Chain A
Amino acid sequence: MTDLTHQNCQALLGSLSEYIDGELPPELCKEIEKHLEGCDNCRIVLNTTRRTIDLVQIPSEENPLPDEVRERLFKRLNLDDYLHARE
Chain B
Amino acid sequence: MNISTTHDFSLEALRAGDRAEFARLVDAFSAPIYRLGLKMLGNTQDAEDILQNTFLNALTHLSDFEGRSSVSTWLYRIAANEALMLIRKRKSNINIEDMQPEDSDDVPLPETFVDWSILPEKELLTNESKSAIETAVKKLPDSLRMVFILRDVEDLSIKETAEILNLTEVNVKTRLLRARMALREQLSSYYAERTRRKETQ
Q: Provide the residues of chain B in CB contact with A4, threshold 8 Å.
A: 109-110
Interface of B is mostly: helix
Shortest Cβ gap from B176 to chain A (Å)? 5
Please give the number of chain B residues whose Cβ is less than 8 angstroms from any Cβ of chain A in the complex.
Answer: 50
> Quick check: is B76 within 8 A (CB to CB) of the other chain?
no
Q: Knowing A70-B30, A86-B27 are in contact, say whether A53-B187 is a contact too (CB < 8 A).
A: no
Shortest Cβ gap from B121 to chain A (Å)? 8
The A-B contact count (CB < 8 A) is 125
Size category of the binding interface on chain A: 35 or more
Alpha-carbon separation in the docked complex, A3 to B113 (Å): 9
- Show the binding face of A for B, using Cβ within 8 Å: 3-5, 10, 13-14, 16-18, 20, 23, 40-41, 43-45, 47-53, 55-60, 63-65, 69-70, 72-74, 76-79, 81-82, 85-87
Can you list 26 A-B pairs, Cβ within 8 angstroms, ordered by A? A3-B109, A4-B110, A13-B181, A17-B177, A17-B180, A41-B113, A44-B115, A47-B117, A48-B117, A48-B188, A49-B184, A50-B117, A52-B184, A53-B152, A55-B124, A59-B133, A60-B154, A64-B35, A65-B31, A72-B52, A73-B48, A73-B52, A77-B59, A79-B22, A82-B20, A82-B23
